[in-house]
Amino acid sequence: MNERTIELTDIAPKDFWGAQDSHLETIKKYYPKLKIVARGTTLKAFGEKELLDEFEKRFKRLMQHFSRYNNIDDNVIERVIHSDSQVEQMDPSDKILVHGIGGKLIKAMTPNQQKLVDYMGKNDMVFAIGPAGTGKTYTGVALAVKALKEKQVKRIILTRPAVEAGENLGFLPGDMKEKLDPYMQPLYDALRDMLPPQTLEDYLLKGIIQIAPLAFMRGRTLDNAFVILDEAQNTTHSQMKMFLTRMGKNAKFMITGDPGQVDLPRRTISGLKEAILILKDVDGVGIIYLDDKDIVRHRLVKKIIEAYKSIENHD
């Protein structure tokens, strides 16, 4: 009897096999002449070679579907197993970046967000500048997840300077991770929208996704990675220079920030403001400015920003 072994690569088995292995049982029904056994991330199938070849081809299409859309169900299994097409193709005009949790379609929501997506396609380093709520970080994380899923990079690194509102980490309770997690929460929130919980947990454990404060970047060379520096307006000159020079081979760097929300001590120059002046004419570096028209949070956020602007302009 012939044997075939298939590994679930970058797929959480609990999500793929379904509750009480319901998806696995559905797959088995279509191949009654094969003996199919799954344990963890490993599937073994036993039977005639020709049937095993057919099964492996269809099963790998199911894996591709799950990697792209984050789900499968009985209808998908039936469609993929009975389909003669190589892979379910996306509409080339489709602007979807990632299929998120619960079928959420994550894509650029405004012309400037789409411009940000286009800039990342053309440049290895992009600065995304704009106020809160304009989707800078969220779009960046979606692009990073897309690059990881499509194997353009091997890891995602998300970082921020932990110096917001003048708080000192030493006075906060807990170990280093507990102290830092509140600063990194927006990055976790975005990832939870885009990756199944078990997959995200596995990626974090294996270091495929790393979330760390900017100070932890010192001395590293970041190869084969999509790297996002968030809240970059709170970097100093030396921090920004240190970060930008971490760039390794096959790396994509995205730097996001709002120059109007600097929390640095007075008379300290923002590394973000300085960098966009220094690098504005460097080939391979893109700079995109988002504005109030790109705000995709609650409609009141836009009005709040406008109200504050009118007061600040009178000061």
Task: For 67-102, write each residue's pLDDT tens digit.
Answer: 777 777 787 788 788 766 544 444 434 577 887 787
Q: What is the pLDDT of residue 90?
A: 42
Q: What is the pLDDT of residue 89?
A: 47
Rounded to the nearest 10 degrees, the angle between the axes of helix 49-69 and helix 74-82 is 130
How confident is the model over 112-170, as pLDDT tens digits? 888 999 999 999 999 999 988 888 999 999 999 999 988 999 999 999 887 643 445 45
With H, G, I as helix, E, B as strand and everything else as coil, classify residue 212.
strand
> Based on the number of CB atoms within 10 Å of its own CB, is 293 exposed (0-12), middle (13-18) or buried (19 or more)?
exposed
Cβ-proximal residues to 148 (8 Å cutoff; 6+ apart), any chain: 154, 155, 156, 208, 209, 226
Q: Say yes or no to pLDDT of 107 above 70.
A: yes
User: In 195-257, which residue ranges form alpha helices assigned H by DSSP?
Assistant: 197-206, 237-244
Higher pLDDT, 182 or 57: 57
Cβ-proximal residues to 34 (8 Å cutoff; 6+ apart), any chain: 28, 45, 46, 47, 51, 52, 55
Contact 264, 273 (CB under 8 A): no
Residue 232 one-letter amino acid:
A
Contact 295, 126 (CB under 8 A): no
Rounded average pLDDT over 165-191: 63
Look up tokens 């106020």; give the residue. 131
Residue 283 one-letter amino acid:
D
Contact 137, 233 (CB under 8 A): no
C-alpha torsion angle, residues 9, 13, 15, 17 (rounded to 10): 110
- Please name which of 165, 43, 194 lies closest in space to residue 106, comparing C-alpha atoms: 194
E-only strand ranges, the chain = 2-7, 35-39, 42-47, 96-99, 105-107, 125-129, 155-160, 209-213, 225-229, 252-257, 285-289
How confident is the model over 40-57, as pLDDT tens digits? 889 999 999 999 999 999
Q: Which two tokens stand for residue 289?
A: 């400015």
Rounded average pLDDT over 272-278: 94
Delineate the domains of the chain, giving CATH numbers in brackets: 2-82 (3.30.1370.10), 96-314 (3.40.50.300)
Rounded average pLDDT over 200-229: 90
Cα 198 from Cα 47, distance rounded (Å): 32
With H, G, I as helix, E, B as strand and everything else as coil, classify residue 81.
helix
pTM, rounded to two decimals? 0.69
